[in-house]
Amino acid sequence: MTNAPLLALNLADWLSLFLHYLLFSLLSVGGAITTAPEMHRYLVDQQHWLSEAQFSSSIAIAQTAPGPNILFVAVVGWNIGTNAGGLSTAFLGTLITMTGLLLPSTILSYLASRWVHENSELRAASAFKQGMKPIVIALICATGWILACAQTDPARNWSLWLLTASATLFFWRTKIHVLWLLAAGAILGWFGIV
């Protein structure tokens, strides 16, 4: 992969990766995608374990594949592992990021779901839900923004921005299926138009 860093990760690095994903899990209100900016900050900006291109392609591949988009977490882990050596570390990376992201939030949700279900009329529960809404929406928009910024070729930037802007408009205003627009983006990129 272009510009992919070669890594020598030791036990402490893997442990640190796991601990960070445990934290991301607890921060993932509104879905795993809202922690993508935080993963980007940690993995690309701080640790340099992934290149910009690898980070954004991980999300693009997960959006294209069938299944919940939480799977971008698996692809990110897979790519860190690939950078660190090969197939066995790729599986290790996937295992660490997925269990790290799922463990705290699933335990919390499993225990809390009944409580919330039975107490949805409580003032505090409703205030929490209502208060989180604008924050979750802003986090989702910030994720899209960071992904759009991740394309680093300045000479071509304007056309990628235009593609992101028009894709936003299409998804917002029409009922066109996701795969059609992803295919259009792939074709434009394949022929070097964007």
Partner 1 sequence: MGYMPGPNIVNLSLMIGGRYFGLSGAMAALGGLLIIPLVIVLLMSAAYAHYSDYPAVSGALRGMGSVAAGLIIATGIKLSSSLKFSPLGIPLCIVIGSICFACIALLRWPLAFVLPGLGSLTFILAYWKQKL
Among positions 130-149, residues that touch partner 1 (CB under 8 A) are 130-148
Cβ partners under 8 Å of residue 75, min gap 6: 58, 59, 61, 62
Min dist. Cβ of residue 113 to partner 1 (A): 5
Report whether 7 contacts 80 (CB < 8 A).
Answer: yes
Please select the residue that binds partner 1; options are 29, 88, 118, 119, rule is CB under 8 A: 29
Min dist. Cβ of residue 49 to partner 1 (A): 15
Cβ partners under 8 Å of residue 156, min gap 6: 194
Cβ partners under 8 Å of residue 184, min gap 6: none
Please select the residue that binds partner 1; options are 106, 118, 120, 158, rule is CB under 8 A: 106
For residues 170 to 189, the per-residue mask of contacts with partner 1, x marking binding by CB under 8 A and - elsewhere, is: xxx-----x--xx-xxxxxx
Please select the residue that binds partner 1; options are 17, 62, 80, 84, rule is CB under 8 A: 62
